[in-house]
Structure 1
Amino acid sequence: MSNLAIRTVLFSMLGNAVLAGIKFLAGIFGNSYALIADGIESTVDIFSSLLVLMGLRYAERPADENHPYGHGKAEPLITFLVVVFLVVSAVAIAWQAIQNIQTPHSLPEPWTLIVLGAIIIWKESSYQLVMKRAKKIQSSSLKAEAWHHRSDAFTSVAAFLGISVAIFGGEGFEVADDYAALIACVFILYNCYGIFRPALSEVMDEDNYEELTQKIRKIALQVEGVKGTEKCFIRKAGMKYHVDLHATVTGSLSVREGHDIAHALKDRLRRELQELGHVLIHIEPA
């Protein structure tokens, strides 16, 4: 799983590096600040992808004496840093767009629309690919990486609309390109919340895993000696879910028999649900 995540982040970094160069060149020679703003975001995305890569590698470290539950919490913390990068880039883009609105400049070149059309298709395709892999391995930082691609697509759409208005409106509509950059900033900030909220939920150990809870209860009932389940608490750390489960057994069983049932249940859960990390079984008399 970690190898898949790392390959995905490297794919994002390479794609953003290439696109940043294309956007800067097209923006400079095509007289479009919206494209230059797009290039700034892609450049910031390269550094945020590097943070995600570092976070994934650290989160995969095995448990040790000081971290008995592993290092998975590093992943949402890295996600917070990614959000900070996005907010800073949005503010920088907005500031420069406001400056440009106050300064007369030339109309964008029509061919920049072709460049933007290709970029939009690429970034949305990248979003779909990265999000699919993020959901597969339950990685919050990889989901943030996917939303980077989606926000980049949004800024490119805004740039496309702004440049279109400027080109077809002609003289007097040059600032449409800059207003498009401002609109793109709003989308970026909105996406920041969408990235930040799940990571915060993970750090605060919110239990929002009803589907996984039902799977755990269903599997538990298939283990010989388990009569039912009571409390089931789940918390996520990195790509693993740690579980505290109360299982009911016949009250007249010996301590050793209850112990054996608990181990059988734990082994069964971890065998059938590969995403589970620590599993703590508490035996209750039926």
Structure 2
Amino acid sequence: MSKTASMLAIWISLASNIVLTAIKIAVGFLFKSQVLIADGIHNAGDVIASATAYSAMRVSSKPADEDHPYGHGKAEVLGAFIVAIILGGAAIYMGFHSIHALFEPPGKAHIIAFVAAVISLIWKQILYVYTMRIGRKMNSKGLIATAYDHLADVYASIAASVGIGLALLGDHFELRILAYGDPVAGIIVSFLVLKLAYGMGRESFDVLMERSVSMAHIEQYAALIRSVPEVKRIDRLRAREHGHYILVDARLAVSGALTIQEGHDISRLIKKKIKDAHNDVDEVLVHLNPWYEDKQAAVPNR
């Protein structure tokens, strides 16, 4: 699956968010649906989020250069972090707007508002599955963030559908309390979206702070290194995420009697083994320390 597929997914997400924003805000104001207006504002934030993800993915796809020797992979992570902030802001806005609506006379629910919420629910669920599948396939932080953004919209649309549906039932059976289903649904939505934004923002922040990959991954890299018979000892092994790829840093002890050429060949073999076994590893930095059998120790790391 090529990078083109990722860019297409972002474009589809951006176009969809623009259309849904227009539909929800227009229908929400026409038929006075608080949750649909709030959801429409949330979608307006999604337009910015999708545009941010698209820009970040374009930057991250650039090759390494003199100023960025490790590439531009973190641009996607930064984009995902910005998306998380936008989601959090939208959630707070929705919550405030919905709580305020509880203290106002409830408006009359309309079937068109309910249909708009259901259409949004189905549309966003399809977009979530589509973007998440491509995002995981490409290990794209920006696209995965966009997929979670769609999932937040699924939650919002479910709550909107239920809230407007309850309000319709309240109008039909003259149960005034059910008319508040719309703003109550908006409060529930805001909480779910805020929780999702927190999780996504925390993950992005960890990558930006260069948190190490899991110990399970480190052990897998170590096993591959130990499979090379010339390696006497692993002095240090680290790995960190750099956007949609991983950088591995290994300090290894090999016989001090080896030639420079032999040491070079061992380093290349180790790099090949790790990169062949793990498609998400983009670079393996290998530093060799001399090891002598009589001393049973490597020269201290420098």
Give the TM-score of the pair, scaled to structure 2.
0.85
The question of 1:74 aligning with 2:75 is answered: yes
2:202 matched to 1:197? yes
Work out whether 1:236 is the aligned partner of 2:241: yes
Separation in 1 of the partners of 2:56 and 2:268?
A: 33
Alpha-carbon deviation of 1:202? Answer: 0.5
C-alpha displacement of 1:155: 0.9
Equivalent residue, structure 2, for 1:95? 96
5 Å matches for 1:176-195? 176-195=181-200
Aligned residues between the structures: 286
Q: Which range moves more in the overlay, 151-160 or 89-98?
A: 89-98
Query: Which residue of the partner structure matches residue 54 of structure 1?
Result: 55
Displacement of 1:22 in angstroms is 2.5
- Name the amino acid aligned to 1:191: L
Match for 1:106: what amino acid? G
Matched residues in 2 for 1:70 and 1:85: separation? 26
**Residue number in structure 1 paired with 2:297:** none
Q: Which residue of 1 aligns with 2:298?
A: none
Residues 130-185 of structure 1: CA deviation (Å, up to 9, x unaligned): 12222222222222111111111111111122122222223523232112112111
**1:206 is aligned to 2:207:** no
CA RMSD, aligned part only? 2.3
Determine the C-alpha separation between the residues in 2 that align with 1:185 and 1:106: 20
* Maintained 8 Å contact 1:2/1:56: no
CA displacement, residues 83-124 of structure 1 (integer Å, 9 cap, x when unaligned): 221122222223322333232242211343333233222212
Shift of 1:68: 1.4
Deviates more, 1:114-123 or 1:210-219: 210-219
Percent identity for Structure 1 against Structure 2? 29
SS at match of 2:111: coil
Q: Label 1:121 to 1:210 Cα distance change in 2 as closer, same or farther (>3 A).
A: farther
| Aligned equivalent of 2:262, options 231, 238, 257 | 257
Q: Name the CA distance, whole Å, in 2 between partners of 1:51 and 1:26.
A: 27
Give the unaligned 5+ runs of structure 1.
none
| Greater shift in the superposed pair: 93-102 or 214-223 | 214-223
- 1:66-97 Cα offsets, whole Å, 9 max, x none, are 22112222222222221221122222223322
Give the alignment of 1:37-186 within 5 angstroms. Answer: 37-170=38-171, 171=174, 172-173=176-177, 174-186=179-191
Most deviating of 162-171 and 47-56: 162-171
What letter matches 1:232 in structure 2? L
Is the alpha carbon distance of 1:106 and 1:17 closer, same or farther for their aligned partners in structure 2, counting shifts above 3 Å? same
Q: For 2:229 and 2:18, how far apart are their aligned partners in 1?
A: 55
CA distance in 2 between partners of 1:195 and 1:9 (Å): 18
How far residue 186 of structure 1 moved from its aligned partner, in angstroms, is 0.7
CA–CA distance in 2 between the matches of 1:87 and 1:249?
51
Which amino acid letter does the alignment assign opposite residue 192 of structure 2? F
Q: 1:264 is aligned with what amino acid?
A: L
CA distance in 1, matches of 2:228, 2:258: 16
The answer to which of 175-184 and 93-102 deviates more is 93-102
TM-score, normalising length: structure 1 = 0.89
Q: What's the secondary structure of 1:282's corresponding residue?
A: strand
Q: Secondary structure of the equivalent of 1:106?
A: coil
Structure 1: which amino acid aligns with 2:28?
G
Report the Cα distance in structure 2 between the residues aligned to 1:129 and 1:8, rounded to whole angstroms.
8
2:283 corresponds in structure 1 to 278
Distance in 2 (CA, whole Å) between partners of 1:225 and 1:4 is: 42
Return the match for 2:225 from 220, 229, 241.
220
